[in-house]
Amino acid sequence: MFRQLGRLGHMSAQPLDSSEHRSGALLDHLARRIRLRSESVLAPLGLRPRHLVALTVLRAGGGTGQQALAATLEMDSTNIVGLLNDLEAKQLIERRRSPEDRRRHVVELTEDGAKRLSEAECALAGAEDEVLGALNPVERETLYELLNRAATGTVNCAEVICGTDDPR
């Protein structure tokens, strides 16, 4: 927690200050722009942006129970049911009862699901290009990397330089 202070320190003595640089609004804005385009692109595939998000999360965080999923997506669990029903009807996911706790449904991406997700992502290229046009490929990759880390939670910092990292 000392590293870049030297760099940021140019403007004031404040330790925390650093950024009014809040990303929330920008995130919101860009997400909307992409979502709008995604809807029309995804429609022929029988998917909606929300499904994509769910699939993406599932690919990243494999077989979890639904309430865990609800927590991750921060959606009401009753709405998760409907979402998963859609996906299961299309055989993109599977619900299997957990052996350890048979109340639980372990949700997992099927092969079809992974395939469809890839297709969808591929189809979205154009949409993203429009919105992220100001960024070159390297920057987009960086962006993806950052978003992915933020989304999948902390963890992975170990292997990278900042062994200690995140003193939270």
Partner DNA sequence: GGAATCGTCTGCGAAGCACCAACTATTTAT
Partner DNA sequence: ATAAATAGTTGGTGCTTCGCAGACGATTCC
Q: Does 136 bind DNA (CB under 7 A)?
A: no
How far apart, in whole angstroms, are the C-alpha atoms of residue 30 and residue 128?
10
For a second copy, give the closer residue by CB, 82 or 138: 138
**Quick one: 3 or 102, whose CB is closer to DNA?**
102
* Site pattern 29..58 for DNA (x: CB under 7 A): ---x---x-----------x-x--------
The answer for residues whose C-beta is within 8 angstroms of residue 62's C-beta and 6 or more apart is 108, 109
Q: Does 122 bind a second copy (CB under 8 A)?
A: yes
**CA dihedral angle for residue 63, residue 68, residue 73, residue 75, rounded to 10 degrees:** 130
Q: Compute and round to an integer the Cα radius of gyration of the chain.
A: 19
Q: For binding to DNA (CB under 7 A), which residues are involved?
A: 32, 36, 48, 50, 65-67, 74-82, 84-85, 95, 101-105
